[in-house]
Amino acid sequence: MRSEKVSEALNTLQHRFLLCRMASKAVRSFHKPSTRIADTMNEVLDRIAGGEPRDLLAKPDRTRTGRR
C-alpha cells in the first residue's frame, strides 16, 4: 500500500513537507507518458525510502545530463 511506502520514506526524510515537495518534483521528472502516474509515484517513494538523506538533498550534477 502507498501508506506503507510513505511511512518508509519518512524514515529517510523526517520532514513531511520536504518529502511531499521532493516526491512531486521527482514524479514530474521521472514520469513517462506510457505509464501510470501511480506507478511512478510508487517508484519514487521506493527510491526515497532506500536512499540516504544527504544524497537525496544534494543538488544534481547537471553537466552529465546535458541540461542547463
- Sequential DSSP letters for 39-56: HHHHHHHHHHHHS-HHHH
pLDDT at 15: 86
pLDDT at 50: 86
Residue 65 CA to residue 42 CA, distance in Å, equals 24
pLDDT at 60 over 70: no
pLDDT at 68: 44
pLDDT at 57: 63
pLDDT in tens, 14-58: 889 999 998 999 999 989 999 999 999 999 999 888 877 666 666
